Chains A and B, each alone.
Chain A
Amino acid sequence: MSATPAALLVDRLTKVYADGTHALDALELRVPSGCFFGLLGPNGAGKTTVINAAAGLVRAPAEKVYVFGHDAVRDPRARLLLGLAPQEVHLDRFLSARDLLVFHGRFFGMRRADATVRADELLTVFDLMGKADTKPNRLSGGMRRRLLIARALVHRPRLLVLDEPTAGVDLVLRHELWRYLRRLHATEGVSVLLTTHYIEEAEALCERVAFIRDGQIVAEGSIAELRDCFGGERLEDAYMEAMQT
């Protein structure tokens, strides 16, 4: 481990699911601390598996995934440092939007009063205060997506992991989310790992990008570096080239 540990370090992680699917093949990935990092790849490339291994939603061996130097499997401190907004929106339908955020904060060890203050702060930031007492199944798709991202932020993680946060989201909301994420990254210094199918989203937000294919990272660098490496005017050209070589 270096003196300043990476926000996320994946060290030759292989993952084979019970049905025999090889999701990850000795994958290596380093997300620098403080970086807005994009992970791009086609469906089934292994993006969600990497993220879920870091967040504890997929069974993974110990000493393969580290969050700010803490083993994601063995050390619960790793969980406190990571906030996850999964691809699918799954929200507890028995709780109101505010309670959902408060309980999340409390699951992560916050005192009730602190969690309530933080929940209200995030409800305001994500324009959900008017729906604070509404249950998730009464919210629109866009509101639920925002609530999911707010939930990931309640316990003040140092690494925010967003798995396709704008998939199926209309253009206006997508730009709103970009605005939230830029502000969060700039003002709170939160490291962000973003997976997306939208190349323009990665171009708009990410400082560094990795391409993933068949469970392996095939290229990683700044957007300029990737364009230089693979050629082309845009990141999309580099991506297409990387996926075809």
Chain B
Amino acid sequence: MTTATLRDVQRRGTLALAARESQRVVVLWTQTILPPVVTALLFLAVFGGALGSRVGEIEGLPYLTFILPGLLVLTVAGSAFSNNSTSLFQAKSEGYIEDVLTSPLQPWHFTLAYMAGGLVRAFAAAAVLAAIATPLTGGVENAPLAVASLLLTGLVFASLGVITGIWADSFDQHAFVANLVVVPLAMLGGVFYTARTLDEPWSTLTRLDPLFYLVDSTRAGLTGVHEAPVWISLTVTAAVASALFATATWLVARGWRLKP
């Protein structure tokens, strides 16, 4: 078998695993797509609707408009993370991951295919949320920038989900990362406030959170308002996404917690 033929085999295998992961998202849509959409709509209703009029404007934007980019980022981040960590954990704990581990896929194919499932879930949920919410908040300032920022969000958290799925040996460990890493990152990422309105050290701490840059660049794409230069936001998050993808692939290559 030539190298070119082998690459073709691996490409088809990668697409098949991505398709299997995406099929799982679609079949389980009441567990994968509906919950994040409902959660984000509740945030919009409570913070944007009920409390928004009391908060007034932030950075010249109605509060509902201000928080929507952050809620889209949270939806993409949460969906991409939990999809991959759960699917991989299930495959590992129920043993059927052996079907993939014995295949001719390379570690980076494995990582990429699992990430694809997370991205499908994240963008399906975000698309539903955006379709419902953007008519309430006005037009989109720079759609390619918003999509690029959300894609980077998906890549960062899909990779983190793969790493967590590989690491977790129990649902408790999975929940530990979700509750003590992802949720604090989300809450401190400038979804509901601007970093410049905070006192030190909170302003600096917020700027150390990679999610801040994702929220900020998504907000720049949707509304034109941002705190950090957009190129810094995109560079920081692309670097984080690359590092996490490389880490996930390295763990798969080592067989860490996948192979005895």
Contacts and interface: CB of A to CB of B under 8 A. Distances in A.
A88 B95 contact: yes
Nearest to B104: A76
Given A59-B260, A107-B105, A109-B13, A76 B99 contact: no
B196 interface: no
B12 A93 contact: no
Interface in A53-112: 55-59, 76-77, 79-80, 82, 84, 86, 88, 90-95, 103-104, 106-111
A145 interface: no
A17 interface: yes
A76 B13 CA distance: 12
Give chain B's interface secondary structure class.
helix
A108 B14 CA distance: 9
Given A76-B10, A107-B16, A56 B94 contact: no
A107 B98 CA distance: 12
Q: By CB atoms of chain B within 10 A, which of A76, A77, A84, A93 has the most?
A: A76
Interface stretch (B1-9, B78-86, B217-225, B228-236): B1-9
Sorting the interface of chain B by its residue count into under 10, 10 to 19, 20 to 34 or 35 or more gives 20 to 34
Interface string A1-41: 00000000000000001100000000000000000000000
Contacts of A91: 96
Contacts of B259: 56-59
Contacts of A106: 12-13, 15-16, 19
A55 B101 CA distance: 8
B95 A107 contact: no
Contacts of A94: 23-24, 27
Interface in B58-107: 91, 94-96, 98-106
Contact of A79 (B8, B17, B27, B104): B104
A158 interface: no
17 contacts: A57-B98, A57-B101, A76-B6, A76-B10, A76-B106, A77-B6, A79-B104, A90-B99, A93-B94, A93-B96, A94-B27, A106-B12, A106-B16, A107-B99, A107-B103, A108-B13, A109-B13
Interface of B: 1, 6, 8-10, 12-13, 15-17, 19-20, 23-24, 27, 91, 94-96, 98-106, 254-255, 259-260
